[in-house]
Structure 1
Amino acid sequence: MKVQNQSKYLRISNIMLLLLIGIALLPYLLDLEQGSSYLLNREIIPSIWCVFLVIMFFFIPRVHAASRLSKRETIYMEAVICAVILIAVRILTGSILGELGSSPYDLSPAGILGNLFYVLPVMAAREVIRSYVLGTYCNVHNLKFFIFITVLMTASALNYSKLMMVSDLKEISIFFAQEAGPILCQNIMLSYLALYGGPIAAILYAGVLELFHWVSPILSALNWLAEGAVGILVPIGFILFLIEKYEEPQHGKKSLKEQRGGLIGWSATALFSIGLLWFIAGVFPIVPSVVVTGSMEPLIYPGDVVLLQQMRTEEQVRSLVAGDVIQFQRDEIRITHRIVEILDDGIGNLTFRTKGDNNSTVDSQLVHPNDIKGELVRVIPKIGYPSLLIKGSGHIDTSDMEF
């Protein structure tokens, strides 16, 4: 009998996952006009989820959270506190950086109700599904399925319209910092809350964040670097807290060495991710760039990544000599070529004549100091190929390059 019940719960969980995936894909599959898309996203889909929640509450057999906490009020309160802390960190960071602004949303009573109807049923249904599925599949410690459901929830929440507009390495980093990274970390947090406290804990955490976002007259408008740091590091801190508090009683006491190893691993991964984003964005003196043409062969090939020392001062520009390889901006593209001649107008203004090693002629336009982005430090072969595949050769304008 127990096996039959377990099989029934597994079927229900699988149906829920298919429903979640189907509704998440619906706007992309239908490819509706703007007015019809608005109706689908803001009225039809929330209504579907409202019906789903009613069916879940009255007709579907319930499952317990995978962990058997005797008192869940504590984790409920912790979920609310964590959400409030994340909001406070965003507002404080926005205040420090001068990146606070007025809410762009309709804050009239009708507008607030309309916006909440748009987001709350979807959010609640997602967390009910997450908790039900984890309770079914993770009634024993099942890390692989925990990861699977977290990745699936993350994938269903991404904005694929923005993802399709990504065209180079820096835009990939911006998308990860603003969208994918924070959404992934939030879903890891929600999965742990659902695992330990059931749907209510996850709904409380996500609900507080959504309520503030749609009701507050003041919101943070953080740049993508700050958004990535806050949206990734703060939830990871919450996750470490939950693991430390609830994982040990559920799955046995770990050695001090194992606990420290886990904490160090999570922290190192988070710091490495943020550091990598900042490195790609040019926060540090050395910045990477993917080369897209063969004008500098055999020194640099398409798909190679060049590491550049950024040119931030006049002294750095004046230290350049003929033979140095520089990267400079020309219209919408960046070109990495060698300096063949430095021209001085007699009053201290420099310009640079450049040429690709594989080109037959010098570049037709002189390079001005303000256009220089950096000096070549090192070439890392081939690791930029994924960026070229994403960008595609059709996006590269080489009409003004001489060969």
Structure 2
Amino acid sequence: MLFWLAGVYFLVNVRLPRVLPAGANVYLGQPLAWLSLGNLAYLSWRFGLKERPVFSRRLTAMAILVGLLQVALAILAGLALGFGRSPYSHHPLALLGNLFFMGTMLVGMEISRAYLVVLFKRGSPVLSVACVALLFACFSIPLGKYTSTIDPQSFFEFAGETLLPAVSQSLLATFLALAGGPAASIAYRIVPELFEWLSPILPNLGWTVSAFLGTMAPAVGLLFVQRQLQWGYFPSGRPQSQESPSGNSWILVAVVTVSMLWFNTGLFGIRPNLVSGASMSPALNPGDIVILRPVEPESIQVGDIIRVVQAGTPILHRVIEITDEGGIREYVTQGDANNVPDRPVSADQIDGRVVLVIPKIGWLAIGVRRALPWLN
């Protein structure tokens, strides 16, 4: 099943776009690929599992309500921040084609998700849900999203706006699949999908707001559904302790997920930045993660490493000189490995000061970013 899932992901993201025209790819090739996955997953679910979760109408209805809550929060944010036109066609034939494409993908993903999480739950339900959720979160993101992270800023925006919400939503969908089978996870996921594909206007949110809502709503939904299971609200025919992990485990998962989002978007007052160049070697090397903190320009001293934005490009360099002529203060920076200084920058171009360096842990992100273009 895992190999088939990976094969379908490779087909729809790499192979089919090369060999089929755009229309045939989206409305024929990709749906057939997802249908093949769904058929294999259904047969495995039906005949390959000795024990399966009991279908619960209450749990399925609760999953729909959580999906509606997620959509409602997005609409409320749109009322405050504005709406934009949907990028999808709303011609009747195009709508039918889009719904067919979305439906086959959803069914294929969710039946295979349910099969895998139930298959692996025997050792540790929490570990099973976490691993399967991470796997399906990664496979739910188009390959082009990974390859578009060409600089540190775009990488962290991708992590906040796309990856973390995908992980949060996948955690909830996987938990629902473990508790109530594929019907429950489909019921949750289909609501925001229908809103996205059918609505002629969509909330026009900044990436930080989108990241916050996309991560927070599923995390709250996860805790709520899990609490209902603990209270026995959804009859399952088995003791609750065998059906779902402990509440403390899921509280920890939700807290970690939301904390990662807040840290990534700077809501703690600090934020990470990936070093991808060698201009500050040996102080900062490619693959290092630096922690930035907002700083008052007056407190910057010669020798500080700061992040400045020049011509739209963020740069991490050391301050080598501070000038103050006619009441206008400017900062001259230079990379430790460079022979010439940068152009002077003003205070409003400074985007934080480095307060901590964590060596090498960002190499995984750099390696993935460099390897992904070879798949295209």
TM-score (norm 1): 0.74
Taking the aligned partners of 1:260 and 1:195, their CA distance within structure 2 comes to 15
Residue 68 (str. 1) matches residue 47 (str. 2):
no
How far has the Cα of 1:32 moved from its partner? Answer: 4.0
Give 1 or 2 for the bigger CA radius of gyration: 1
Verify the 8 A CA contact 2:334 2:342 in the aligned structure 1.
no
SS in 2 for 1:211: helix
Identify the residue that residue 113 of structure 1 maps to in structure 2: 96
Identify the residue that residue 102 of structure 1 maps to in structure 2: 85
Identify the residue that residue 8 of structure 2 maps to in structure 1: 23
Taking the aligned partners of 2:226 and 2:314, their CA distance within structure 1 comes to 46
Residue 46 (str. 1) matches residue 26 (str. 2):
no
Identify the residue that residue 398 of structure 1 maps to in structure 2: none
- Which AA in structure 1 matches 2:162? E
Identify the residue that residue 337 of structure 1 maps to in structure 2: 318
SS in 1 for 2:27: helix
SS in 2 for 1:219: strand
Aligned pairs (5 A) from 1:344-355: 344=325, 346=326, 348-354=327-333
Residues 89 and 25 of structure 1, relative CA distance in 2, 3 Å threshold: same
Taking the aligned partners of 2:41 and 2:350, their CA distance within structure 1 comes to 61
Residues 118 and 196 of structure 1, relative CA distance in 2, 3 Å threshold: same
SS in 2 for 1:210: helix
Residues 384 and 168 of structure 1, relative CA distance in 2, 3 Å threshold: farther
Q: Which moved more, 1:227-236 or 1:324-333?
A: 324-333
Identify the residue that residue 396 of structure 1 maps to in structure 2: none
Runs (5+) with no aligned partner, structure 1:
1-13, 393-403
Taking the aligned partners of 1:125 and 1:305, their CA distance within structure 2 comes to 37
Residue 163 (str. 1) matches residue 160 (str. 2):
no
Verify the 8 A CA contact 2:227 2:247 in the aligned structure 1.
no
Verify the 8 A CA contact 2:319 2:331 in the aligned structure 1.
no
**Count of matched residue pairs:** 359
Residues 31 and 317 of structure 1, relative CA distance in 2, 3 Å threshold: same
How far has the Cα of 1:117 moved from its partner? Answer: 1.3
2:308 to 317, 321, 328: 328
Q: Which moved more, 1:39-48 or 1:52-61?
A: 52-61
Identify the residue that residue 9 of structure 1 maps to in structure 2: none
Verify the 8 A CA contact 1:65 1:195 in the aligned structure 2.
no
- Which AA in structure 1 matches 2:146? L
Provide Cα deviations, 1:229-269, integer angstroms capped at 9, x if missing partner.
Answer: 11111111111222222257555559xxx966435423431
Identify the residue that residue 374 of structure 2 maps to in structure 1: none
How far has the Cα of 1:290 moved from its partner? Answer: 4.8
Identify the residue that residue 226 of structure 2 maps to in structure 1: 243
Verify the 8 A CA contact 2:45 2:115 in the aligned structure 1.
no
- Which AA in structure 2 matches 1:337? R
- Which AA in structure 1 matches 2:104? P
Taking the aligned partners of 2:124 and 2:290, their CA distance within structure 1 comes to 45
Provide Cα deviations, 1:152-185, integer angstroms capped at 9, x if missing partner.
Answer: 3223212221112213443232112222222222
Identify the residue that residue 359 of structure 2 maps to in structure 1: 382
Identity of aligned residues (%): 22
RMSD of aligned alpha carbons: 3.7
Runs (5+) with no aligned partner, structure 2:
233-237, 371-376
Identify the residue that residue 266 of structure 1 maps to in structure 2: 253
How far has the Cα of 1:74 moved from its partner? Answer: 0.8
Taking the aligned partners of 2:278 and 2:45, their CA distance within structure 1 comes to 62
Provide Cα deviations, 1:358-379, integer angstroms capped at 9, x if missing partner.
Answer: 766x626333334333445x34
2:202 to 219, 230, 239: 219
Taking the aligned partners of 1:126 and 1:388, their CA distance within structure 2 comes to 28
Residues 99 and 132 of structure 1, relative CA distance in 2, 3 Å threshold: same
Verify the 8 A CA contact 1:309 1:374 in the aligned structure 2.
yes
Aligned pairs (5 A) from 1:116-265: 116-136=99-119, 138=121, 142-246=125-229, 250-252=238-240, 261-262=248-249, 264-265=251-252
How far has the Cα of 1:88 moved from its partner? Answer: 0.2
Taking the aligned partners of 2:301 and 2:40, their CA distance within structure 1 comes to 74
TM-score (norm 2): 0.78
Taking the aligned partners of 1:323 and 1:147, their CA distance within structure 2 comes to 43
Taking the aligned partners of 1:367 and 1:60, their CA distance within structure 2 comes to 61
